[in-house]
Amino acid sequence: MERKVGERFKEGNTLLETVKNHDCIGCFYDSNGCGENDNQGECCTDTRKDEEDVIFKEVKNEEHYYIWGVPNRGEKIKKLLSSKGIVTNLDDKTYSNSNNLIYIEKGTTLAINKNNEPSLCNLITSNWTELKLSYQPKDKELVWAWDDDDIAKRYLVFFDSRNDGCFSYAGNRVGTCYNHYAPFDGEYPQWAKEALEKLED
């Protein structure tokens, strides 16, 4: 049995839809008896007539989301969407283009360019919920840092973007990594200005 892309069917009381995807992430059967249920049908490109890889995704009355592409952070966007059970089937360049509005329809990501579809972009941004990546400091930026269990403590450090952490106390790269970062507001104190000049390149 081969279910067509876009075909919806019931598994007990759960409504499912056949959606293109290259891996099993987001598939209802991935954690509910994959390979043991006759209802799902073929899902791999080598066994399907249409030569498509598909998953069978639960159809929910979910909120509509969108996110703007972020240069050099396409991988982070994919992880954010995947964490919400959203199929990430676009190429990396699409997620990294700041002119692209990436929106979620029927659990799958689609993208439009704001220069080509300004009215549709405006409609989506006016009515849907925006997703945003967490704050990402620049290399050698002075930031506040802390871990999840640091209830009453913050560290003032220089961010090391190459290693996604901070500089060591001696100004070397590959220092401590923290769970959270926030920008330091205001003028850098004198010690920070002097330290900034001595950080490892």
109-136 pLDDT, tens digit each:
889 999 999 999 999 999 888 988 888 8
Residues 6 or more apart whose Cβ sits within 8 Å of residue 105? 64
- Are 103 and 159 found together in one domain? no
Residue among 144, 146, 15, 125 at smallest CA distance from 66:
125
What pLDDT was estimated at residue 35?
A: 66
The verdict on 70 and 111 lying in the same domain is yes
The amino acid that residue 66 corresponds to is: Y
Which residue's structure tokens are 């959203």?
86
Provide the number of structural domains found in the chain.
Answer: 3
The confidence score (pLDDT) of residue 28 equals: 87
Average pLDDT over residues 166-194: 92
In this predicted structure, which of 11-25, 91-105, 182-196 has the lowest mean pLDDT?
11-25
What range does the domain containing 156 cover? 142-196
When the pLDDT of each residue in the chain is averaged and rounded to a whole number, the result is 87
* Residues 83-98: tens digit of each pLDDT: 777 878 888 899 999 9
User: Which of 58, 76, 100 marks a domain boundary?
Assistant: 58
Is 164 a residue whose pLDDT tops 80? yes
Residue 1 lies in a domain: no
> What is the reported pLDDT for 105?
77
Asked whether residue 180 carries a pLDDT value surpassing 80, the answer given is yes
Compute CA distances 158 → 45, 112, 187, 198, whole Å: 48, 36, 14, 11
In a domain, 165, yes or no: yes
Q: Per the domain annotation, does 135 fall within a domain?
A: no
Q: Binning pLDDT at 50, 70 and 90, where does residue 152 land?
A: very high
For residues 48 and 70, membership in a common domain is answered with no
Residue 17 to residue 86: CA distance in whole angstroms: 13
Q: Any bridge partners for residue 85, and if so which?
A: none
- Residues 125 and 70 both lie in one domain: yes
Mean pLDDT of 94-112: 87
Q: Provide the whole-model pTM.
A: 0.51
Determine the residue type at 3.
R
Percent pLDDT > 90 in the chain is 41
In a domain, 94, yes or no: yes
pLDDT tens digits for range 35-94:
656 667 888 888 899 988 898 888 776 668 899 999 888 888 988 888 777 878 888 899
- Out of 79, 100, 130, pick the residue that ends a domain: 130
